[in-house]
């Protein structure tokens, strides 16, 4: 991704295939979610509970994380702490080297995308294969996921058929999704048989029992965490929840918001490696707790609700900007509204602040969020900070808003301005922005709204007399 | 490692106020007032919606139905667990139904049985410890008698469930779990459908990585 954000947006907007793929997918997912939450009262009640559980957990992170660590250790799970991506990658590499592993199989995990684990392991001659069908497709085409739940959402069936033909030399009948999935199944089963390390993310980690919860449909998550002799789980430190009683609420909110399913095919609770009397399961389980900027977010009173996120993807599914430009244009691991607030906080406003521009503050993401993160407000706060901290105080935008403020503060000035606007309405102004390249500049009315209202009420009162 | 741990915990504690620890009311609105029959009916309806094959059978002669399923689907090599009397019964019924049917017991460890598990098994049978009607979910607790792979690797997975073990919803299950929270089992799996994916253009396809077929026997 060397192009600038605006170039990538232009490219995405000019790609009719991409736009139709996203339009179709977003309509599908929104509709499924709407049906899953058809009971408005239930939705409101669940959302309140979900938000309360997450906020409470974020408030108690030090306590819950140390409890989780202790319980995991008691259960025989080895716990590692990683301050950043480098730390986390090196921990994985260390385990792989210790076992002379050359093949790693991975279940879908956005945290591993965040630390770019695949690329890192590849540099050290360790092959890391994605086993989620969508992730496998994306990896096959040397791409990154364009959606956090459905990684290959930007491709349609025909494009995937062609990809399999080109990269794997396997042709399948046109439009035959079952055949494509069959191909993936056969190839990846071999990998599950061969791989000596399985890597997964964590959807929720239960502190008081030391349990890792994984939510999935395909069974690749279960295979990745069962077939290889070593399982490494990577989780952001915010994913901890106090106890299993919090799980039903969060599970309902997560799967319904993500794909409109009341539950996924599998919910996998892992609390221990293979015990001496057991016959299968990994012989060692490692849990890596990744900070990578999260602890600092938790200390920011205005922004800490960012960490409540359960990664359902509903915000991007409902975002009019995401729907039009797709996930790749953002150029960040997490696209859409959650990516717009998370990425600048993880990587700095200076570097990633321009992501915040891609928002109309329409509010759809905030309404869709199942844990009541006020995404539009967070975007607004970050925009403000960017303006204050990063931009020069006298940018053109600041100047325009300064004038706007003056005009709206003083009624006389306001009346004068509107009067002039009406007076010179037929002048064709050359604006310094790109706005008019694709749009017609609106023409001020002959009479301002105030004048029109005055006349209106005058004629009305005369008529009443 | 300790350096990272301390640094992270220090950052986290910078401003943390005394914990809130407020009591969060957790409720499940739907299907709380169902009687046993309604619960069973809801469970079967949801399982079928999730594309599972469901047999509601008498606990005395359910093996006959199982043998019929094996013959109809030509399932010849069966993977069975150990030391479970219901499963032993099933094994006898299967082998007496056809000379083509053979039984493999998951007695050696995974490494020894790996090749067979990946290549030679047609179907397996395991027990469910509980079930959730609201979502059509089976709760399995793999152990040394029924290892984790049994419900994961065979193309056809058969589950036995006692009708009396069906609960209304998930919240009821965690309020009164069939396991001990102070001594969690290594693995608990909730299964609600055959393995599936919609990763290609939102088109639902079954048999992604796990079992392609899920057959549930509910014993009255």
Q: Which residue has the higher pLDDT, B29 or A165?
A: A165
pLDDT for the residue A387:
83
Cβ distance A209 to B106 less than 8 Å, yes or no, reads no
Instruction: Summarize pLDDT for A180-235 with one digit per residue, the tens.
Output: 999 999 999 999 999 999 999 999 999 999 999 999 999 999 999 999 999 999 99
**A174 and A242 share one domain:** yes
Q: Which residues does residue A213 pair with via DSSP β-bridges, in sequence order? A: A204, A269
Q: Which of B212, B220, B219 is nearest to B75 (CA)?
A: B212
Of all residues in chain A, what percent carry a pLDDT higher than 90? 85
Instruction: Summarize pLDDT for A75-101 with one digit per residue, the tens.
Output: 999 999 999 999 999 999 999 999 999
The domain boundary residue, chosen from A367, A391, A415: A391
Task: Provide the token pair at A309.
Answer: 């996120």
Report whether B161 contacts B128 (CB < 8 A): yes
Q: Which of A52, A177, A263 sits opposite B24 (nearest CB)?
A: A52
Per-residue confidence at A419, pLDDT binned at 50, 70, 90? confident
> Can you give the CATH number for the domain in which A178 is found?
3.40.50.10420
Chain B residues within an 8 Å CB radius of A151: 199
Per-residue confidence at A397, pLDDT binned at 50, 70, 90? confident
Q: How far is CA A290 from CA A70, A238, A293, in A?
A: 17, 9, 9
A280 Cβ under 8 Å from any chain B Cβ: yes
A137 Cβ under 8 Å from any chain B Cβ: yes
Q: What is the mean pLDDT of residues A134-155?
A: 97
Distance from CA of B137 to the nearest CA of A (A): 8
Give the C-alpha separation, A353 to A369, whole Å: 22
Q: How far is CA B124 from CA A188, B159, B160, in A?
A: 21, 8, 11
Q: What is the mean pLDDT of residues A346-371?
A: 96
* Residue A305 belongs to some domain of the structure: no
Write down the ipTM of this complex.
Answer: 0.95
Distance from CA of B48 to the nearest CA of A (A): 13
Instruction: Summarize pLDDT for A110-124 with one digit per residue, the tens.
Output: 999 999 999 999 999
Give the C-alpha separation, B81 to B88, whole Å: 9
CA dihedral A175→A181→A182→A187, nearest 10 degrees, is 130
Question: Per-residue b/e over A331-369, b at no fewer than 16 CB within 10 Å?
Answer: bbbbbbbbbbbbbbbbbebeebbbbbebbeeeebbbebb
Give the C-alpha separation, B192 to B131, whole Å: 9
Report whether B131 contacts B43 (CB < 8 A): yes
Other CB atoms within a 10 A radius of the CB of residue B82 amount to 15
**A238 and A387 share one domain:** no
Of all residues in chain B, what percent carry a pLDDT higher than 90? 84
pLDDT for the residue A460:
84
pLDDT for the residue A236:
98
Query: Domains in chain A: how many in total?
Result: 3
HSE-up of A358 (CA within 13 Å, CB side)? 31
pLDDT at A43 over 90: yes
Nearest CA in chain B to A270: B187
Q: Which residues does residue A268 pair with via DSSP β-bridges, in sequence order? A: A214, B189
Instruction: Summarize pLDDT for A359-391 with one digit per residue, the tens.
Output: 999 999 999 999 999 999 999 999 999 988 776
pLDDT for the residue A14:
95
> Which residue of B152, B182, B187, B213 to mutate against A (max A Cβ within 10 Å)?
B187
Distance from CA of B197 to the nearest CA of A (A): 6
- Count of CB pairs separated by less than 8 Å, A with B: 258
A231 Cβ under 8 Å from any chain B Cβ: no
**A86 and A215 share one domain:** yes
**Regions in chain B scoring below 50 on pLDDT:** none
A25 Cβ under 8 Å from any chain B Cβ: yes
Domain residue limits at A364: 1-36+313-391
**A205 and A78 share one domain:** yes
Chain A residues within an 8 Å CB radius of B153: 223
* Residue A307 belongs to some domain of the structure: no
Cβ distance A219 to B189 less than 8 Å, yes or no, reads no
Q: Which of A75, A263, A281 sits opposite B137 (nearest CB)?
A: A263
Three-state SS sequence of chain A: CCCCHHHHHHHHHCCHHHHHHHHHHHHHHHHHHHHHCCCHHHHHHHHHHHHHHHHHHHHCHHHHHHHHHHHHHHHCEEEEEECCHHHHHHHHHHHHHHCCCCEEEECCCHHHHHCCHHHHHHHCCCEEEECCHHHHHHHHCCCCCCCCCCCCCCCCHHHHHHHHHHHHCCCCCCCCHHHHHHHHHHHHHHHHHHCCEEEECCCEEECCCCEEEEEECCCHHHHHHHCCCEEEEEEEHHHEECCHHHHHHHHHHHHHHHHCCCCCCEEEEECCCCCCCCCCCCCEEEEEEECCCHHHHHCCCCCHHHHHCCCCCHHHHCCHHHHHHCCHHHCCCCCHHHHHHHHHHHHCHHHHHHHHHCCCCCCHHHHHCCCCCCHHHHHHHHHHHHHHHHCCCCCHHHHHHHHHHHHHHCHHHHHHHHHHHHHCCCCCCCCCCCHHHHCCCCCCCCCCHHHHHHHHHHHHHHHHC
**A219 and A326 share one domain:** no
Cβ distance A87 to B207 less than 8 Å, yes or no, reads no
Nearest CA in chain B to A136: B199
Cβ distance B109 to A263 less than 8 Å, yes or no, reads no
Give the C-alpha separation, B219 to B202, whole Å: 36
pLDDT at A431 over 70: no
Cβ distance B189 to A267 less than 8 Å, yes or no, reads yes
Task: Provide the token pair at A389.
Answer: 């901290």
> Which residue of B7, B10, B12 to mutate against A (max A Cβ within 10 Å)?
B12
Distance from CA of B215 to the nearest CA of A (A): 14
A159 Cβ under 8 Å from any chain B Cβ: no
Q: Which residue has the higher pLDDT, A402 or A337?
A: A337
Burial of A315 (0-12, 13-18, 19+ CB in 10 A): buried
Distance from CA of B47 to the nearest CA of A (A): 11
What is B36-195+205-219's CATH superfamily? NagB/RpiA/CoA transferase-like (3.40.50.10420)
Give the C-alpha separation, A8 to A328, whole Å: 8
**A214 and A249 share one domain:** yes
The domain boundary residue, chosen from A369, A391, A413: A391
Pairing of the two strands A197-200 and A230-236: parallel
Q: What is the mean pLDDT of residues A123-128?
A: 97
* Residue A55 belongs to some domain of the structure: yes
* Residue A60 belongs to some domain of the structure: yes
Of all residues in chain A, what percent carry a pLDDT higher than 70? 97
**A221 and A271 share one domain:** yes
Task: Provide the token pair at A110.
Answer: 């956005």
Cα three-residue angle B157-B163-B166, rounded to 5 degrees: 85
Give the C-alpha separation, B25 to B5, whole Å: 33
Give the C-alpha separation, A338 to A148, whole Å: 10
Distance from CA of B60 to the nearest CA of A (A): 30
**A323 and A361 share one domain:** yes
C-alpha torsion sign, points A248, A253, A257, A262: positive
Report whether A362 contacts A318 (CB < 8 A): no
pLDDT for the residue A461:
85
Cβ distance A24 to B202 less than 8 Å, yes or no, reads yes
A222 Cβ under 8 Å from any chain B Cβ: yes
**A446 and A410 share one domain:** yes
Distance from CA of A236 to the nearest CA of B (A): 12
* Residue A183 belongs to some domain of the structure: yes
Give the C-alpha separation, B161 to B139, whole Å: 10
**A135 and A217 share one domain:** yes
Give the C-alpha separation, B169 to A31, whole Å: 25
Mean pLDDT for all residues in chain A: 94
Q: Which of B139, B190, B39, B172 is nearest to A255 (CA)?
A: B190
**A109 and A6 share one domain:** no
Nearest CA in chain A to B144: A278
Chain A residues within an 8 Å CB radius of B170: 247-248, 251-252, 263
Report whether A388 contacts A353 (CB < 8 A): no
List all residues 6 or more positions away from A346 whose beta carbon is below 8 Å from its beta carbon: A114, A292, A293, A294, A297, A352
Range in A4-8, A9-13, A245-249, B82-86 with the lowest mean pLDDT:
B82-86
pLDDT for the residue B18:
54
Q: Where along chain B do its domains lie? A: 36-195+205-219
Three-state SS sequence of chain B: CHHHHHHHHHHHHCCCCCCCCCCCCCCCCCCCCCCHHHHHHHHHHHHHHCCCEEEEECCCCHHHHHHHHHHHCCCCEEEECCCCHHHHHHHHHHHHHCCCCEEEECCCCHHHHHHHHHHCCCEEEEECCEEECCCCEEEECCCCCCCHHHHCCCCEEEEEEEHHHEECCHHHHHHCCCCECCECCCEEEEECCCCEECCCCCCCEECCCCCCEEEEEEEC
> Which residue of A131, A217, A246 to mutate against B (max B Cβ within 10 Å)?
A217
* Residue A301 belongs to some domain of the structure: no
**A63 and A194 share one domain:** yes
Q: Which of A453, A450, A458 is nearest to A417 (CA)?
A: A450
Burial of A117 (0-12, 13-18, 19+ CB in 10 A): buried
Distance from CA of B173 to the nearest CA of A (A): 9
Kindly report the pTM of this predicted structure.
0.92
pLDDT for the residue B16:
55
Q: What is the mean pLDDT of residues A12-24?
A: 96
Q: How far is CA B23 from CA A56, A176, A242, A331, B20, in A?
A: 10, 51, 12, 41, 9
Cβ distance B22 to A52 less than 8 Å, yes or no, reads yes
Give the C-alpha separation, A92 to A237, whole Å: 17
pLDDT at A2 over 70: no
Chain B residues within an 8 Å CB radius of A244: 174, 177, 181
Give the C-alpha separation, B57 to B49, whole Å: 19
């Amino acid at each position: 991704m060397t192009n600038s954000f605006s170039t990538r947006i232009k490219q995405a907007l000019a790609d009719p295939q991409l736009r139709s793929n996203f339009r179709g997918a977003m309509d599908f997912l929104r509709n499924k979610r709407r049906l899953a939450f058809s009971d408005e009262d239930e939705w409101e009640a669940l959302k309140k509970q979900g938000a309360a559980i997450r906020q409470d957990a974020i408030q108690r992170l030090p306590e819950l994380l140390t409890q989780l660590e202790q319980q995991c250790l008691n259960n025989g799970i080895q716990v590692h702490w990683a301050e950043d991506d480098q730390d986390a990658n090196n921990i994985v590499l260390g385990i792989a080297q210790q076992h002379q592993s050359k093949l790693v199989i991975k279940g879908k995990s956005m945290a591993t995308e965040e630390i770019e684990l695949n690329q890192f392991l590849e540099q050290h001659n360790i092959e890391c294969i994605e086993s989620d069908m969508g992730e496998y497709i994306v990896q096959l085409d040397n791409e990154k996921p364009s959606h956090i739940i459905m990684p290959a959402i930007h491709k349609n069936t025909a494009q995937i058929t062609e990809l399999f033909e080109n990269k794997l030399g396997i042709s399948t009948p046109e439009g035959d999704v079952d055949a494509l999935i069959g191909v993936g199944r056969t190839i990846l089963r071999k990998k599950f048989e061969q791989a000596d390390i399985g890597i997964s993310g964590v959807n929720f980690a239960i502190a008081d029992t030391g349990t890792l919860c994984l939510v999935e449909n395909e069974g690749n998550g279960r295979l990745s965490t069962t077939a290889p002799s070593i399982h490494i789980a990577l989780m952001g430190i915010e994913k901890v929840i106090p106890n299993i009683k919090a799980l039903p609420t969060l599970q309902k909110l997560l799967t319904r918001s993500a794909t409109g399913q009341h539950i996924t095919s599998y919910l996998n609770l892992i609390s221990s490696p293979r015990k001496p009397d057991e016959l299968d399961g990994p012989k060692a389980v490692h849990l890596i707790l990744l900070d990578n900027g999260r602890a600092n977010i938790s200390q920011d009173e205005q922004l800490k609700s960012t960490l409540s996120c359960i990664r359902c993807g509903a915000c991007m599914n409902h975002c009019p900007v995401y729907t039009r430009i797709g996930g790749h244009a953002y150029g960040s691991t997490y696209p859409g509204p959650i990516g717009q607030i998370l990425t600048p906080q993880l990587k700095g406003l200076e570097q990633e602040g321009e992501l915040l521009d891609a928002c109309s503050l329409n509010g759809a993401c905030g309404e869709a969020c199942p844990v009541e993160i006020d995404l539009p407000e967070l975007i607004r706060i970050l925009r403000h900070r960017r303006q204050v901290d990063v931009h020069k105080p006298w940018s053109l935008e600041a100047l325009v808003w300064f004038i706007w403020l003056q005009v709206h503060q003083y009624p006389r000035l306001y009346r004068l301005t509107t009067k002039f606007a009406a007076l010179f309405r037929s002048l064709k102004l050359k604006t310094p922005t790109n706005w008019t390249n694709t749009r017609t500049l609106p023409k001020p009315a002959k009479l301002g709204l105030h004048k029109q209202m005055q006349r209106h009420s005058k004629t009305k009162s005369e008529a009443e007399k | 490692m300790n350096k990272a741990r301390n640094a992270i915990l220090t950052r986290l504690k910078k401003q943390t106020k005394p914990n809130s620890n407020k009591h969060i009311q957790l409720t499940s609105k739907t299907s709380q007032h169902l009687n046993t029959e309604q619960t069973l009916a809801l469970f079967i309806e949801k399982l079928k919606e999730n594309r599972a094959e469901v047999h509601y059978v008498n606990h005395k002669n359910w093996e006959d139905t199982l043998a019929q399923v094996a013959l109809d689907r030509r399932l010849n090599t069966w993977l069975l667990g150990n030391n479970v009397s219901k499963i032993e019964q099933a094994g006898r019924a299967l082998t007496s139904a056809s000379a083509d049917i053979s039984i493999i017991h998951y007695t050696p460890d995974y490494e020894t049985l790996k090749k067979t598990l990946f290549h030679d098994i047609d179907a397996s049978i395991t027990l469910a410890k509980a079930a959730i009607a609201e979502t059509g979910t089976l709760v399995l607790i793999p152990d040394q008698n029924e290892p984790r792979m049994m419900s994961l690797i065979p193309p056809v997975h058969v589950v036995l469930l006692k009708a009396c073990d069906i609960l209304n919803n998930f919240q009821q299950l965690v309020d009164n779990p069939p396991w001990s929270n102070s001594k969690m089992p290594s693995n608990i799996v909730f299964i609600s459908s055959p393995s599936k994916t919609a990763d290609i253009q939102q088109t639902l396809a079954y048999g992604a990585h796990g079992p392609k077929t899920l057959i549930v026997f509910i014993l009255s």
